[in-house]
């Protein structure tokens, strides 16, 4: 295998993880369901019976007041609540205290936060617009602006963690997390921060947002079957995934345990149709990721695909993967986490990163559930319905967004 050219002192490792998802609100529950081949996509008619599609994977039974001060919670949209809860767990696993005076080897002026979100505080926006236009109120909540802003989760995480370094949010539709990840890597490699909390989050089950997706005719009437010949579309999901990133030398100096390495993120733009995927753009992101990591396609052990379950995406991604792998396309295993958790938009890339890290640590490749029959137009090696035991040294995690925004991350066993 070709070794990464990045100097050892610039190796970036993941030392903490946190999650809020339809599979639960901690990493243990998340991984148990992922590798147990569960599917969170189920009826949502108890939440919304005014939709043409009847299923999804919303976050349920989540009480943010159990982990966040109730007074703070009242000033957060759900997408910020998800993010903060996940960040608190990630910091704990990384061995970092919430006390800025703690002796944990962390200078809070060198602690950064980068978050990604596709929708921002859409739940709050809908609630306040309803108050204004439907209920006849002449006022909205004075906290509407800070609750709605896309960078809200970054600010709330910074407050909870006493992070006084670079803190900001990015928005790149479904590629938001991988773009946030690339920004976090840049901060660490350039020496602007020693540790960065990186998060992808979205709360997607506001009625207006669901109706907007309904109008796209992209949502499956039953469930999500990526790469399967009978796939009918995506399923909606939501939540937050969080990782703590730091340079390897910094992690070792404070005796933190590296969980995985991030070798780089490759990016590209289709510069074309805003909703139709483009194989060349997808290929460009994956190829750029390997170039940055100084790796070849034969080095990839596993791919966590974007895999939305739509006819166009899966066929196009398959074409791009086959172009990247060449003769290897029949051998390199691939799966889609969206088959289990739906499409969580800004959180999807984070879920997929967590599933990939879990696969590396467990030496098991996550499955694509709901798979019934291979599609000849998707000639990739799909891990169908059950997790597959295998050692993973190098993995690729894809996020390909509306607007032609593509980002692929390369992860390595620590």
Contact status, residue 79 vs residue 125, Cβ threshold 8 Å:
no
Catalytic residue among 25, 85, 179, 306: 306
- Please state, in angstroms and rounded to a whole number, the distance separating the CA atoms of residues 191 and 195: 10
Please check whether residue 337 is in contact with residue 166, taking contact to mean a CB–CB distance below 8 angstroms: no
Q: Which of 39, 174, 198, 224 is catalytic?
A: 174
Is residue 179 flagged as an active site residue?
A: no
Given the residues 156, 224, 343, 378, the one annotated as active site:
343
- What are phi and psi for residue 337, nearest 5 degrees? -70, -20
Torsion of CA 204, 387, 400, 188, to 10 degrees: 90
- The position carrying tokens 């802003």 is 149
306 included as an active-site residue: yes
Tokens at 226, concatenated: 């990526």
Active site residue 73: no
Q: Compute φ and ψ for 392, nearest 5 degrees.
A: -115, 115
Nearest Cα neighbor of 338 from 368, 317, 315 is 368
Which whole-number Å values give the CA distances from 106 to 10, 165, 229, 345, in the listed order? 18, 11, 50, 32
Q: What is the rounded distance in angstroms from the CA atom of residue 233 to the CA atom of residue 145?
A: 34
**d(C-alpha 100, C-alpha 77), whole Å:** 26
Active site residues per annotation:
174, 306, 343
């Amino acid at each position: 295998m070709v070794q990464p050219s990045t100097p050892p002192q610039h190796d970036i490792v993941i030392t903490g993880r946190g999650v809020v998802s339809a599979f639960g609100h901690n990493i243990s529950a998340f991984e148990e369901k992922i590798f147990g081949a569960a599917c969170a996509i189920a009826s949502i008619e108890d939440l919304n019976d005014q939709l043409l599609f009847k299923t999804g994977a919303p976050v349920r039974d989540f009480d943010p007041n159990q982990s966040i001060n109730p007074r703070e919670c009242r000033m957060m949209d759900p997408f910020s609540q998800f993010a903060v809860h996940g960040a608190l767990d990630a910091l704990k696993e990384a061995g970092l205290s919430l006390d800025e005076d703690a002796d944990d080897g962390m200078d809070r002026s060198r602690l950064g936060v980068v978050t990604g979100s596709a929708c921002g505080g859409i739940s709050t926006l809908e609630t306040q617009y309803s108050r204004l236009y439907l209920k006849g109120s002449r006022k909205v909540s004075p906290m509407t602006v800070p609750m709605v802003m896309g960078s809200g989760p970054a600010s709330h995480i910074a407050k909870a963690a006493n992070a006084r370094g670079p803190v900001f949010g990015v928005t790149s539709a479904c590629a938001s997390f991988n773009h946030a990840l690339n920004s976090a890597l840049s901060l660490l490699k350039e020496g602007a921060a020693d540790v960065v909390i990186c998060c992808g989050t979205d709360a997607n089950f506001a009625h207006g947002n669901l109706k907007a997706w309904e109008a796209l005719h992209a949502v499956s009437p039953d469930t999500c079957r990526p790469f399967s010949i009978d796939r009918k579309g995506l399923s909606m999901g939501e939540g937050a995934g969080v990782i703590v990133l730091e340079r390897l030398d910094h992690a070792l100096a404070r005796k933190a345990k590296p969980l995985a390495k991030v070798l780089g993120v490759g990016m590209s733009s289709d510069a074309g149709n805003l909703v139709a995927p483009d194989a060349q753009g997808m290929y460009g992101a994956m190829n750029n990721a390997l170039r940055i990591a100084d790796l070849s396609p034969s080095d990839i052990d596993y791919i966590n695909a974007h895999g939305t379950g739509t006819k166009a995406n899966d066929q196009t991604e398959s074409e791009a993967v086959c172009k990247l792998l060449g003769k290897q396309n029949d051998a390199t295993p691939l799966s889609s986490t969206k088959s289990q958790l739906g499409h969580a938009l800004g959180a999807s890339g984070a879920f997929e990163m967590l599933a990939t890290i879990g696969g590396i640590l467990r030496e098991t490749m996550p499955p694509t559930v709901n798979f019934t029959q291979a599609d000849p137009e998707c000639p990739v090696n799909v891990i169908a319905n059950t997790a597959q035991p295998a050692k993973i040294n190098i993995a690729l995690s894809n996020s390909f967004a509306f607007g032609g925004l593509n980002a692929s991350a390369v992860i390595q066993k620590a």
